[in-house]
């Protein structure tokens, strides 16, 4: 990350020294920017789309008075990226009762932990939340969610001997209908597992959720786009939570998923502990992505 930021800053410095920002200089800066974004795992096609509009604007627009060409280009880069993420942060709105949230995502992306984190978060906000385990695939999925919810004192429904997720969802729905929020955990699945995607679609029909949250691993690479697409073709993704951003990953893959499914990021996961969940801040995410500190 440091090395990349350095490269970027160097080329931007180069740019600052130029009396005029000509095509050659801009192109060079764009090349560095492309490299930085690709290394942060932003989808390559998305990078090109982005850099094209940045290049066009950087060459065409006159920098406003008092702003150096350098600052101007940085500003354009920032603005174009912000367009993707949205300027403001999107909050989770609980506007009916019970508010049903369905969690979906790839294997190992962090759904179960995130379900518990969000249940805990909502409880602290004063909502009466409950959790349903519909993961009948992964060994000991039930035990994991049970232990997590016991820790935070949130009721949980599941049955390790039941192998039909639809039945589990139905039961859970019935059991917790008087709660403010019901969170449904599901098994991990990927785009090549057709049966599992069918199952997810059926689950969604049964639950009729008010919000479907796609949980994305912050370390995911160029696959993010096509995986996110496979999910959103089957169910309507309402928001995204990016996990594991406490490591060295820059989360560019998540950005690609956002642009693919057209849903905002609402939270990020920053650790394994139950309160390691933060509301998403686009500006901070962006500077992390570019390795530029605060822009």
Partner 1 sequence: MFESLKNKLNKAVKKITKSVSKKEIEKGKVEENKSGIFSFIKEKTISEDDIEDVLWELQLELLEGDVALEVAEKITESVKKELVGKKVKRSTDIDKYTRNALKNAILEILKTDSNVEDLLKIKKKPFVILFVGVNGTGKTTTIAKLAKYFMEKGLVPVIAAADTFRAGAIEQITKHGEKLGVKVIKHKKGSDPAAVAYDAVNHAKSKNKDVVLIDTAGRMQTNMNLMEEMAKIKRVVNPDFIIFVGDALTGNDAVEQAKMFDEKIGIDGVILTKADADTRGGAAISISYVIGKPILFLGIGQNYDDLIEFKPEWVVKQLFT
Q: Which residues bind partner 1 (CB under 8 A)?
A: 34-35, 38-41, 44-45, 106-110, 112-113, 116, 137-148, 151, 190-192, 217, 219-224, 226-227, 244, 246-250, 252-253, 271-272
Say if CB 271 and CB 246 are below 8 A apart.
yes
Shortest Å, Cβ 71 to partner 1: 27
Shortest Å, Cβ 276 to partner 1: 11
Question: Could you tell me which of 223, 261, 194 has the C-alpha nearest to residue 241?
Answer: 261
Contacts of 210 (CB under 8 A, 6+ apart): 96, 99, 100, 101
Shortest Å, Cβ 168 to partner 1: 17
Judged by beta carbon, residue 88 or residue 247, the one nearer partner 1 is: 247
Contacts of 128 (CB under 8 A, 6+ apart): 179, 180, 181
Judged by beta carbon, residue 92 or residue 141, the one nearer partner 1 is: 141
Separation CA 136–CA 113 (nearest Å)? 16
Judged by beta carbon, residue 40 or residue 102, the one nearer partner 1 is: 40
Shortest Å, Cβ 267 to partner 1: 17
What's the half-sphere exposure (Cβ side, CA atoms, 13 Å) at 142?
Answer: 12
Shortest Å, Cβ 167 to partner 1: 21
Judged by beta carbon, residue 173 or residue 254, the one nearer partner 1 is: 254
Most distant CA pair in the chain: distance in Å? Answer: 72
Judged by beta carbon, residue 141 or residue 212, the one nearer partner 1 is: 141
Shortest Å, Cβ 41 to partner 1: 4
Judged by beta carbon, residue 42 or residue 203, the one nearer partner 1 is: 42
The DSSP H or E segment spanning 181 is strand 181-185
Contacts of 216 (CB under 8 A, 6+ apart): 105, 106, 109, 224, 228, 240, 241, 242, 243, 253, 254, 257
């Amino acid at each position: 990350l440091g090395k990349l930021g350095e490269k970027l800053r160097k080329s931007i410095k180069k740019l600052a020294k130029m009396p005029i920002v000509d095509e050659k200089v801009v192109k060079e800066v764009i090349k560095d920017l492309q490299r930085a974004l690709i290394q942060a795992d932003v989808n390559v096609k998305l990078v090109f789309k982005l850099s094209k509009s940045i290049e066009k604007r950087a060459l065409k627009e006159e920098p406003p008075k008092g702003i150096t060409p350098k600052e101007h280009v940085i500003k354009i880069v920032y603005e174009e990226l912000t367009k993707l993420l949205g300027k403001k942060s999107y909050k989770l709105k609980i506007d009916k009762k019970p508010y049903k949230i369905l969690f979906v995502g790839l294997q190992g992306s962090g759904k179960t932990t995130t379900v518990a984190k969000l249940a805990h978060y909502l409880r602290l906000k004063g909502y009466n939340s409950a959790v349903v385990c519909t993961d009948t695939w992964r060994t000991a999925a039930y035990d994991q969610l049970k232990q997590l919810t016991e820790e935070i004192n949130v009721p949980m429904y599941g049955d390790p001997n039941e192998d039909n997720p639809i039945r589990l969802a139905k039961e859970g729905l019935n059991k917790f209908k008087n709660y403010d929020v019901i969170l449904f955990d599901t098994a991990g699945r990927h785009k090549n597992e057709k049966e599992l995607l069918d199952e997810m679609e059926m689950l969604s029909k049964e639950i009729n959720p008010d919000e479907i949250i796609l949980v994305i691993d912050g370390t995911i690479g160029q696959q993010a786009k096509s995986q996110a697409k496979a999910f959103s073709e089957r169910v309507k993704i309402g928001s995204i939570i990016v996990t594991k951003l406490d490591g060295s990953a820059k989360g560019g893959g998540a950005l690609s998923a956002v642009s693919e499914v057209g849903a905002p990021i609402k939270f990020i996961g920053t650790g394994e502990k139950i309160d390691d969940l933060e509301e998403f801040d686009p500006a901070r995410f962006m500077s992390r992505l570019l390795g530029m500190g605060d822009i």
